[in-house]
Structure 1
């Protein structure tokens, strides 16, 4: 069983270390983890784990994913207010790069937010995002 999904027997042992770290990373960028559906968090971590052949993501990769997801979910203004213009600009540069490389982890995280319908309309509009069907 994947370390990501090792939630313990019948939930007795709590959440995996990767999920706890991701929750802390989300809090650090002003997105309460309870506002992120569990399925979205699990899918985001699976995207990161695909880069490491199934190993838990590094702390830096977890933080980067939380930043991108928070930007998508909070929207441009709220993210910048909470995290500053420098971090907002850095995430925007990552989004621009992801639009040019749809195989990147960032592109997959953006697509996850779009398909899960947790992305802010301001982000969709600014980057002209749309999910292709079929």
Structure 2
């Protein structure tokens, strides 16, 4: 739900469902949630909500898919192929390539976030010619 995302506080209040779903998506890709800064996860969740036509009814799968793309930026196709299988890794590779070809889409915003957060591995950066262009 938009506006309800929270990290929790002193163990008294739990993490919001959207951040838990995002963390679950990272774990599914063998990326421990602690490897991704909380600010980057919060920004990614907000991007998913921002690009959704109805952010109040987003399924957990939307957050897990966003986490998978960030995990691809961190791990690369070979490692995710071992974890998720070659078909899903190839799909993520295609998503990343499509993100570099078009601006203004969720995947492009997530890749840019990963670049700014320093989450993109050197191999992925080189393979997809990823860089931040300042105009």
TM-score (norm 1): 0.89
Trace 1:1-134 onto structure 2 (pairs within 5 A): 2-5=3-6, 7=7, 12-52=12-52, 54-55=55-56, 57-134=58-135
- What are the superposed Cα offsets for residues 4-27 of structure 1, whole Å, 9 maximum, x if unpaired? 13x456652111111111111111
Aligned residues: 133
2:102 touches 2:108 (CA, 8 Å); kept in 1?
A: yes
Residues 97 and 43 of structure 1: CA distance in aligned 2, closer, same or farther (over 3 Å): same
CA shift, 1:58, in A, is 2.1
Distance in 1 (CA, whole Å) between partners of 2:8 and 2:44 is 20
Structure 2 residues without counterparts, runs of 5 or longer:
none
CA shift, 1:126, in A, is 0.5
Structure 1 residues without counterparts, runs of 5 or longer:
none
